[in-house]
Amino acid sequence: MKRYLIRRIAVMPLLLLGIATLVFAVSRLTPADPLVSIVGERNLNNPDVVNAAKARWGLDDSVPVQYATYMKNLVRGEMGTSFSTRKPVFDDLIDRLPATLELTFTALIGGTAIGIGLGIVAARKRNKLIDHVARFFALIGSSLPAFWSGLLLLYVLYARLGWLPGPGRLEPRSAPPGRITGFYTIDSLLHGNMSLFVQAATHLILPAAVLGWGVIGIVTRLVRASLLDELSMEYVRVGRAMGLRERTVVNTHALRNALLPTITIVAFTFAFLLTGAVLTETVFSWPGVGSYAVDASRNLDFPAIIGVTILGGVAFLITNLITDVAYAFADPRIRLS
């Protein structure tokens, strides 16, 4: 176990290096260069301004030199300065990460809870109407384009009915709570501001629902399948034969075993959540990392593209590691190799 852990962690820097290199290579495929966003279009014909900007942003070095500079900086935690926000990419990401995390955690927790519930119901009422309804609902979740369902829900629940608040993390008029964690819901509570908490929480509902629906789809399917597997096991049949109540069999024995694989869901849904976050944040004007990524790739903002993609890769790596290890702890039968 310990050796496995050490080996997994030891490979991390290598993988990180690979990630950074790959992203750097990708961002240099481009035929366009980002000078314009720096000097402004009117000055593009002015060689003095152009050269000054090139020197200042290191754009006149050769690609290998740029790569070396980039790697050196990266090791120090510097990701360069965004061409469009003109702030260090690292700071931008730190600024925007809490918004994304608050949204994805809400969607993940809500989606997982509902998904487990639906999965259990579906497995216990296998092939009954409720099973079909639950699975159909889940399936829609994993088939819906988030950017469309988001628009649709906004149209109906916000614009038409006015039941839920619109885009953004808070009402435009409200000022965010003083930053402690960057999660508006938590920070507003810490500041004892209940009305702000309600606002932050209600603003989370729509985007988290759009994002969480997909999680429901994934979790329901997995829980149902693994619970059905467990229910077909010898020990369940034995338990039933011994006259144990169905509820006892399912809840105490089968369910515990069936939920083990759902640990992997966290890693499994992470890519899904990030994908969803990119689209959901765009639809809901959510000032997170996803909308930052979209802006960066539209603007050919190289430092920002590199930074955000590396962040995605790193987050993915870490989540994978954590779930693998957690899974190994939870289920000693798993041989780690």
Partner 1 sequence: MVRYSKSRSRSVMTRTAACAIAGVMILAACGSDPAAPASTSGSGGSTAASVDGGGNTGGDTGGGKALVIARQMDVNSLDPSLAYCDTCQIYMTAVYETLIGLDSSDNQTLVPRLATKWEGNPAQTEFTFTLDPKAVFADGTKVTSADVKFSWERLKALQGSSSYLAGSIETIDTPDESTVVVTLNAPNSAFLAQVNSPYLGIINAKLAQANGATMDPATDTAETWFLSNSAGSGAFALKSYADGNELRLSRNDKFWGAVSEFPEVIIKETPSAVTQRQQLEQGAVDIAMQISADVASGLDSTDVTVTDVPSFNYVYLAISEKAVGGEALTPAVREAIRLALDYDNLVQVTAGGAGQSQASPIPNGFAGSADLPKPVQNIEKAKQLLADAGVTDITLDATFPSLNVYGIDFSTAMQQVQTDLKKVGINLELNPVEIAVWADKIGKDGIPVTMLYFAPDHTDSSQYVQYFSMAEGTQWQGWTKSDPNPEEATVLAQAFATQDATERASLYKQLGQMMIDDQVIIPIVNPDLFLASRSDITGMAYSACCNLDLSKLGRS
Partner 2 sequence: MSTISLPVAATRRRRIRPPWLRGPALVGVIVLSLWVLVAITLPLWTPFDPLEPVAARLQGPSWSHLMGTDALGRDVFVRTLYGARISLPVAAIVIISSVIVGTVVGAAAGFFGGWIDAVLMRLVDITMAFPPILLAMAITASLGPGIRNALIAMALVWWPIYARLLRAQVIAVRQREFVESAQAIGAGRWLILRRYILPMSYTPVLVNGTMDFGQVVLLTASLSFIGLGARPPSSEWGAMITEGATNFYQWWIAASPGLAILLVVMAFNFVGDALRDTFDVKEQGR
- Residues at the site binding partner 2, with contacts judged by CB under 8 A: 14-15, 18-19, 22-23, 26-32, 139-140, 142-149, 151-152, 155, 159, 221, 267-268, 270-272, 274-275, 278-279, 282-283, 293-294, 296-298, 300, 305-306, 308-309, 312-313, 316-317
Beta-bridge partners for 81: 88
Question: Which of partner 1, partner 2, none does 186 bind, CB closer than 5 to 8 A by kind?
Answer: none
Work out whether 42 is an interface residue with partner 1 (CB under 8 A). Answer: yes
Q: Are 81 and 268 in contact (CB under 8 A)?
A: no
What is d(CA 256, CA 243) in angstroms, rounded to the nearest whole number? 20
C-alpha closest to that of 273 among 151, 167, 146: 146
Smallest gap from residue 200 Cβ to partner 1 (A): 15
Of the candidate residues 66, 69, 202, 299, the single one contacting partner 1 (CB under 8 A): 299
Q: Which residue number, 174 or 275, has a Cβ lying nearer to partner 2?
A: 275
Of the candidate residues 58, 117, 168, 313, the single one contacting partner 1 (CB under 8 A): 168
Smallest gap from residue 175 Cβ to partner 2 (A): 28
Q: Which residue number, 61 or 95, has a Cβ lying nearer to partner 1?
A: 95
Of the candidate residues 205, 287, 321, 323, the single one contacting partner 1 (CB under 8 A): 287
Of the candidate residues 24, 70, 83, 302, the single one contacting partner 1 (CB under 8 A): 83
Smallest gap from residue 101 Cβ to partner 2 (A): 15
Smallest gap from residue 312 Cβ to partner 2 (A): 4
Work out whether 35 is an interface residue with partner 1 (CB under 8 A). Answer: yes
Question: Which of partner 2, partner 1, none does 28 bind, CB closer than 5 to 8 A by kind?
Answer: partner 2
Of the candidate residues 6, 178, 285, 334, the single one contacting partner 1 (CB under 8 A): 285
Work out whether 85 is an interface residue with partner 1 (CB under 8 A). Answer: yes
Q: Is 184 left (phi over 0), alpha (psi -120 to 50) or beta?
A: alpha
133 to each of 138, 220, 255, how far by Cα in Å? 9, 12, 21
Query: What letter would DSSP give residue 41?
Result: G
Smallest gap from residue 204 Cβ to partner 2 (A): 21
Contact positions toward partner 1, by CB under 8 A? 32-37, 40-46, 48-49, 52, 56, 83-87, 92, 95, 158-159, 162, 166-168, 171-173, 175, 285, 287, 291-292, 295, 298-301
